[in-house]
Structure 1
Amino acid sequence: MKEELLTILRPYHQEHLLAFWDELDQEEQAHLAEQIKAIDFALITKMYAACCTETNHSQNTLLAEPPVAVRMGASTDVDQRAAEQAGLAALADGTVGVALVAGGQGSRLGFDHPKGMYPIGPISGSTLFDILFGKVIATRSRAKASVPIYLMTSPATHQETLAYLNREQNFGIPAAEIMVFCQGTMPAVDATNGKLLLKSKSSLFLSPDGHGGMLAALNRCEALRDMQRRGIKHLFYFQVDNPLATVCDPALIGHHILARSEYTLQVIAKQAPEDKVGNVVQLEGQTQIIEYSDLPAETANLRNPDGSLKLWAGSIAVHVFDVDFLCRLAVQRDALPIHYARKMVNFVDSDGKICQPIEPNAIKFEQFIFDLLPSASSTITVEVDPAMAFAPLKNGPGEKTDTAEHVQQQLMHFYRQTLRAAGLQVAETARVEIDPRFALTPGLLKNKIAAGSVIKDGTYVH
């Protein structure tokens, strides 16, 4: 077996991966061999060569324009109602599925489990998974139709997520209506020479291939085929760290359908040039997303005559895809470009010792789902109020933004607004929470709680 592996490795000067082969037992050898055989070394060599050629993005980004968008307050009530009705009709027809990206770990939150298991309910202590699955269940009930979930994990979260969902009986989602699959991985390489790094003597250092890995993973696990079999035409995509996401937002789905869009983005208006969100722009005749780290300050600070930001649209990682579009792109080898980042990675050196670098020593590769945008024949961007749809849980205690405390405050503000819109009385500082299974909208709340009722501090409406 060793000679067979060397035949694979020699053309790419990666023989060091077998430096400790003779020290490994049979099981360890089999594991390492399986990892090596799964690597596309020609592609890794090509990616490393490309990342060594620095690209200056700033000249291109100076040409960026704001996207063609449905702005809040700019569209008529009739337009909004038409979009919402189109979305509700699609949901009732059973043509909408959900893609939930849940590969992240809770380590930055001081939580040693998948992030989806983090307890974020301000009163109930419900986890992110519980709240978001509850929104899918409420959508199913409202539409009286199936809304299957395609849940993407990572190697680090897959088994624990499966066990958790099994323990919680999928929070009421029928087993036939959920498919849990794992995103792929890519090896990390030495930044100085492109050699793959060993995590241990018997294992390569592999990291998740980014949220863009969803496209290949959906194809690999035959989720796309499952969608076609079910008659799913539109896939609503969001991430597990945003409990305020309006899951299966009928208006967003409706705008997508009415515009005959293949890829639709939900965005918020940036509050400051340096906001850490992807910038949705029109560039070279196409809708694109420029990462905040790739947008020069000069471009980010451009203003309109009224003083507002020229590049105003911030991505919140909520999208709607046409399933036919995803199927078309999934079979194209180069549908998504590869991005790279220099990171500090512990590795096994030539003496078999674990090295812990003090500065970035490795290159990690990943793909971004929004790089599908230029391949779409038509796109549309739809603005939403962040107070109603965006509360990302990113940081641990003590940080300035996006902590659990911040998210809970945003959730309670949303719940208070929802209760008031339903004609109920609630104090401005009241701690309240609504289980989405009980009522997803103010209209549904009106049918369950008498108008004028007083909602007390500490109330969990469920």
Structure 2
Amino acid sequence: MREPTVVGTESNGGSVGSIAQSPPPQALLERLKDYGQEDAFALWDELSPDERDHLVKDIESLDLPRVDRIIRCSLRSQGLPVAAIEPVPERSVSTVEERTMDERERWWKMGLKAISDGKLAVLLLSGGQGTRLGSSDPKGCVNIGLPSGKSLFQLQAERILCVQRLAAQVTSEGGGSGSAAIHWYIMTSPFTDDATRKYFEGHKYFGLESDQVTFFQQGTIPCVSKDGRFIMETPYKVAKAPDGNGGVYSALKSSKLLEDMATRGIKYIDCYGVDNALVRVADPTFLGYFIDKGVSAGAKVVRKAYPQEKVGVFVRRGKGGPLTVVEYSELDPSLASAINQETGRLRFCWSNVCLHMFTLDFLNQVANGLEKDSVLLPSC
């Protein structure tokens, strides 16, 4: 019988089969120390050579400066002081129901004209799995219990088809000839991409042309503890998860889809989250309003129902600062329940329901690290 081999110095009580005590790569260890993540090598001495190699490659694949910026930003946002945020100015919000029928009809027609001219694309954020719905499938594939049995993907595809027909009809009545298809960009994740593609193929794209649907994957980011340290999935692998809806900007850039949009003549992008059965995909009124205002970014919002409602709200960062979203878990209870004495509403009442409109120029600027002002439009 072959005798076991002892390699290197004693460890783990000098047990037979100990691993040679070669240290982690010094340069990589120093980089981890710079970002306070050296604990990723905490169990190095217990790893086999193959596991060590796997860990090194896993760490080297991370964009450590970007990850560190995200972690620091997240940690700074916790427990925001009262002086750090202000309510969204009333002038930044416009309620459709309070506008005249002439205005609303003008926005509707303006939006349909832009759609007919091929200037609008739809961007779906669909990287998550339906775990909270009791399924490991992509959220858009899950049967959500509608009498029709339709999935979220089917509902949204059918709404795109409907808007296309409306745009063609209105343009034809006006003597025009535009009838461009709405291109649908669908962001998946490494965990949902294959299943999403197969689902669309199996359902023949729900009546859409296959070449008007483009799938692309968002990135992943390390999972971290409350103090910002990497969580290890195994002793030789950092736990990772999709990088959230905010990952759409870098994903669009890395996949060169911003250039693809420009080539197609797209100027406006309607962006929304998949888990919304009521979403008005490619809403002509929202698009027309957005074009009319000449802004670079906008959002539909709904009034927060009560202080403890678990939904993020739009705020202004400081006096005259940019509009941004503060999650319900980050908002101090005293701020969440504060009342605007003039309106009788909550001071921080405009909820983020992930319904956005962007110009292509704005997406390019954000992808390159720039910011622009935005306006809000409540859901109607």
- TM-score, shorter chain, exceeding 0.5: yes
2:137 to 108, 113, 122: 113
Q: Secondary structure of the residue that 1:70 maps to in structure 2?
A: coil
1:380 to 370, 375, 380: 375
Q: How does 1:273-284 map to 2 (within 5 A)?
A: 273-283=307-317, 284=319
CA displacement 1:302-356 (0-9 Å, x = unmatched)? 1334633343322211010001111122123xx5xxxxxxxxxxxxxxxxxxxxx
Q: Secondary structure of the residue that 1:293 maps to in structure 2?
A: coil
Change (3 A) 1:37 1:174: farther
CA distance in 2, matches of 1:288, 1:245: 22
Aligned to 1:264: 298
CA distance in 1, matches of 2:106, 2:275: 30
Contact map agreement 2:300 2:376 (CA 8 A) in 1:
yes
Which amino acid in structure 1 is aligned with residue 333 of structure 2?
A
Aligned to 1:422: none
Aligned to 2:3: none
CA distance in 1, matches of 2:308, 2:229: 36
Which amino acid in structure 2 is aligned with residue 184 of structure 1?
G
Which amino acid in structure 2 is aligned with residue 319 of structure 1?
H
1:186 corresponds to 2:221: yes
Change (3 A) 1:146 1:297: same
Which amino acid in structure 2 is aligned with residue 19 of structure 1?
W
Contact map agreement 2:183 2:212 (CA 8 A) in 1:
yes
303-312 or 72-81: which moved more?
A: 303-312
Q: Secondary structure of the residue that 1:159 maps to in structure 2?
A: helix
1:198 corresponds to 2:232: yes
Aligned to 1:314: 351
Q: How does 1:78-227 map to 2 (within 5 A)?
A: 78-120=102-144, 122-143=146-167, 144-189=179-224, 191=226, 196-227=230-261
CA displacement 1:160-190 (0-9 Å, x = unmatched)? 2122222222223222211111111111345
Contact map agreement 1:270 1:314 (CA 8 A) in 2:
yes
Which amino acid in structure 1 is aligned with residue 140 of structure 2?
G
The alpha-carbon deviation at position 49 of structure 1 amounts to 6.0
Which amino acid in structure 2 is aligned with residue 150 of structure 1?
Y
Contact map agreement 2:24 2:41 (CA 8 A) in 1:
no
Which amino acid in structure 2 is aligned with residue 119 of structure 1?
N
Contact map agreement 2:111 2:287 (CA 8 A) in 1:
yes
Aligned to 2:332: 296
Tell me, which stretches of 5 or more residues in structure 1 are unaligned? 336-374, 386-462
CA distance in 2, matches of 1:17, 1:141: 60
Contact map agreement 1:189 1:196 (CA 8 A) in 2:
yes
1:59 corresponds to 2:82: yes
CA displacement 1:67-108 (0-9 Å, x = unmatched)? 421114321111111111111111010000011011111111
2:48 to 23, 37, 40: 23
Q: Secondary structure of the residue that 2:329 maps to in structure 1?
A: helix
Contact map agreement 2:85 2:315 (CA 8 A) in 1:
no
CA distance in 2, matches of 1:182, 1:175: 18
Q: Calculate percent identity across the aligned residue pairs.
A: 28
Q: Secondary structure of the residue that 1:90 maps to in structure 2?
A: helix
TM-score normalised by L of structure 2:
0.80
1:228 to 255, 262, 265: 262
The alpha-carbon deviation at position 126 of structure 1 amounts to 1.1
The alpha-carbon deviation at position 62 of structure 1 amounts to 6.1
1:11 corresponds to 2:31: yes
CA distance in 2, matches of 1:62, 1:220: 33
Aligned to 1:326: 363
Which amino acid in structure 2 is aligned with residue 16 of structure 1?
F
Which amino acid in structure 1 is aligned with residue 376 of structure 2?
T
Change (3 A) 1:35 1:136: farther
Which amino acid in structure 2 is aligned with residue 382 of structure 1?
L
TM-score normalised by L of structure 1:
0.66
204-213 or 270-279: which moved more?
A: 270-279
36-45 or 200-209: which moved more?
A: 36-45
CA displacement 1:424-445 (0-9 Å, x = unmatched)? xxxxxxxxxxxxxxxxxxxxxx
216-225 or 52-61: which moved more?
A: 52-61
User: What RMSD over aligned residues (CA atoms) do the two structures have, in Å?
Assistant: 2.8
CA distance in 2, matches of 1:105, 1:175: 23
Change (3 A) 1:232 1:19: same
CA displacement 1:214-257 (0-9 Å, x = unmatched)? 00000111111100000000000011110110100001001110
Tell me, which stretches of 5 or more residues in structure 2 are unaligned? 1-21, 168-178
Which structure would you say has the larger Rg? Answer: 2
CA distance in 2, matches of 1:264, 1:212: 15
Aligned to 2:13: none
CA displacement 1:95-142 (0-9 Å, x = unmatched)? 000110111111111122111111136222111111111111222233
CA distance in 2, matches of 1:296, 1:243: 30
The alpha-carbon deviation at position 17 of structure 1 amounts to 7.2
The alpha-carbon deviation at position 154 of structure 1 amounts to 1.7
